[in-house]
Amino acid sequence: MHYRRLTPSMSLLLVFEAAARHESYTRAAEELALSQSAVSRQIQTLESQLGISLFRRQGRSVQLTELGRRYAAEVVAALGRIRAATLQAMSQQEGGALRLATLPTHGSKWLLPRLHDFYRSHAGVTLHIHSRIGAIDFNAQELDAAITVGGVGDWPDLRAHCLHNEFLVAIASPEALNGKPATPEWIASQTLLTVASNQKGWAQWFSHNGLDHRQMKVGPSFELTSHLMQAVRAGMGVGLVPRALIDDEDRRLGLVEVGAAMVSERSYYLVYPERNETLPALAAFRAWLLAQQA
């Protein structure tokens, strides 16, 4: 068989990967800054070259065929390896760059205040920091590593290094307390504000303090911890947040820690695909992070 047929061009594979990921020519076209007709033509060219149908057309929508789904899985993995190899080659120069995803509030409250120490001994490394919430797809997103939160075993396909435990503490505004004793029973009587990614936090807190879950008055939830903290300052209720994210400025602006901190069921982790393990910039950053915990 002719090798050209077995080696589609990179442009065809990139279009197919985007179309397969979205199962939409329209969204693939938006992502790649192409017209929808251009995406359709390139998919047709690839199907003709391979001699198989990759998509099933249903009106204006498309859906991967079973062969297309299997081919997409292999192409995504292969493109991921190519990107990693390219990045590794580029990063062999002194220092190199690291594209790091981090949770927004953890990044601003915990990581950024410490980075001056990292740069003191790794001046040749450039960190590109991206805020991300939720699951991260290292094959689809141009990222090398991420700092995220979760439990043991949450990332079976990734390298994961535990950085530090999450200690949760209840917070309130001085106006809400109004001189009252800051007891667990007082907190239980308030509106409970939550972070969307940790809906079970208050239930764990109630159990930890021996309180009846039926007393819980759950209020609004927020995507960002920083937004929840602003809501507490505004008197909307009490919040449950990682203690590491409360700094001196928060205390000056009127946040009061109520009661003792509680060890969460979650921890913060540095995670990345195995293929990125030897990237010089990642190796330097990983060693520094783990030394912080030591």
What does the pLDDT look like over 218-261, one tens digit per residue?
A: 999 999 888 999 999 898 999 999 888 887 777 777 788 887 88
Which residue, among 292, 239, 262, has the nearest Cα to 166 in the 3D structure? 262
Q: Going from the N-terminus, what domains does the chain have, and what CATH number goes with each? A: 3-89 (1.10.10.10), 96-294 (3.40.190.290)
Q: pLDDT over 90 for what percent of the chain?
A: 47
Q: Specify the pLDDT at position 248.
A: 73
How far apart CA 234 and CA 101 sit, in angstroms, is: 30
Contact (CB, 8 A) for 42 and 12? yes
pLDDT of residue 244: 83
Residue 90's pLDDT is 61
pTM for this model (two decimals): 0.64
pLDDT over 70 percentage in the chain: 95
Nearest of 208, 207, 225, 112 to residue 171 by alpha carbon: 225
Residue-wise pLDDT for 143-195, tens only, equals: 899 999 998 888 999 999 999 898 998 989 888 888 888 788 888 889 999 99
pLDDT at 3: 63
107 close to 163: Cβ distance less than 8 angstroms: no
Given a cut of 60, whether residue 92 has pLDDT beyond it is no
Is there a contact between 161 and 269 (Cβ–Cβ < 8 Å)?
A: yes
Please, are residues 124 and 78 in contact by the beta-carbon 8 Å criterion?
no
In the numeric block, which tokens belong to residue 294?
Answer: 């030591």
Whether the per-residue pLDDT at 94 is higher than 60: the answer is no
- Per-residue model confidence (pLDDT) at position 260: 82
Q: How many CB atoms lie within 10 A of CB 274?
A: 10
149's enclosing H/E stretch is: strand 145-150
Q: What is the pLDDT of residue 179?
A: 81
Instruction: Record the tokens describing residue 172, joined without a space.
Output: 């309130």
Q: What own/partner pairs with CB < 8 Å and gap ≥ 24 does 207-216 have?
A: 208/262, 209/184, 209/259, 211/184, 211/185, 215/188, 215/189, 216/188, 216/192
Q: pLDDT tens, 68-88?
A: 999 999 998 888 888 777 766
